[in-house]
Amino acid sequence: MENIYLPQLARVVNVIQETPDIKTFAVAFENGASAFDYRPGQFVMCSLFGQGESVFGIASAPALAPPLEFTVKKMGKVTSAIMGLAPGDQVGVRGPYGNCWPIEPMKGKRLIFIGGGVGLPPLRTLIEEILYGGGRADFGDMLIIYGARSPADLVYKDKLQRWAQEPGVEVRLTVDAGDDSWTGPVGFVPSLLLDVAPSPNNAVALTVGPPIMIKFVLANLVKLGFSPEQVYTNLENRMKCGIGKCGRCNIGPHFVCTDGPVFSYQQILAMPTDF
């Protein structure tokens, strides 16, 4: 019987230092690129043998894989150990798990991406799938609103510059606190969203970030006239097994790892109020 908890072996092929405490890792599977097919919005369980396992949203676009990329923020035992990996080191990868961003219903619409901190990776996978995966003509203009605590905490700085140069793409950045080199807006992402005030007409909004940011982004999207059916978010809620067996990520009758991690705001409104 196949062991559903058995990871595939992969090797780190590249490491990018995004911020002082965030790195992006690119890995290649030892049994070949065909071993792993995924969709934008899905996640993986990454294990470091002898240390443990943790969940990460896939950052790379399927059209650009291999390698597979995920972005890690140093927070606990496992992520601290992963931060020490170098090219050539071995890791285990289980997945892909969960659902994905609803790409088909988004076709023909303007897309508004709203990210905060290390919440940009689950958005990046869809942004680059659309821009560089051969289907750009299927979508309207793209607005990317992104913020972090400080300029040093912004991830994917080179990619943000590249996206801003693409036709039909607007990138708006903000930080909670600037420095001497920062010339952009200073403030929180939900406030910048209200300042930019994108129209809900023929649009879909996608937001990922800290829970408190998501809470106020959702409220501000409603103020701007977006309906719950037009808004999607990506949740990561205490996932452990990734396959709906451990029960750690349930929200009422839903399991984030199997019913999500992508949910519409309409679905979230039907969840328990204490969530």
Q: What is the CATH number of the domain that holds 193?
A: 3.40.50.80
- Range(s) of the domain holding residue 211: 103-234
Indicate the SS3 state at residue 161: helix
Q: What is the pLDDT of residues 128-139, one digit of tens each?
A: 999 999 999 999
CA pair distance 42, 55, nearest whole angstrom? 11
Q: What is the pLDDT of residues 107-130, one digit of tens each?
A: 999 999 999 999 999 999 999 999
187 plus 119 within the same structural domain? yes
- Residue 148: which of 6, 13, 18 has the closest Cα? 18
Give the DSSP H or E segment for 228: none
107 plus 230 within the same structural domain? yes
174-178, 223-227, 233-237: which has the minimum mean pLDDT? 233-237
39 plus 161 within the same structural domain? no
Cβ within 8 Å of residue 99, ≥6 positions away: 41, 42, 259, 260, 261, 262
**Percentage, residues of the chain above pLDDT 70:** 96
Mean pLDDT over 171-179 rounds to: 94
Query: What pLDDT shows up at residue 32?
Result: 65
Mean pLDDT of the chain: 91
| Higher pLDDT, residue 253 or 224 | 224
Given pLDDT bands bounded at 50, 70 and 90, which one contains residue 238?
Answer: low
Give the strand pairing for 22-29 and 8-19. antiparallel
Mean pLDDT over 185-209 rounds to: 97
143 within domain boundaries: yes
32 within domain boundaries: yes
56 plus 146 within the same structural domain? no
Q: Are 268 and 260 in contact (CB under 8 A)?
A: no
Domain boundary, last residue among 48, 74, 97: 97
66 plus 178 within the same structural domain? no
Given pLDDT bands bounded at 50, 70 and 90, which one contains residue 33?
Answer: low
Domain boundary, last residue among 97, 126, 145: 97
Quick check: 8 pLDDT over 80? yes
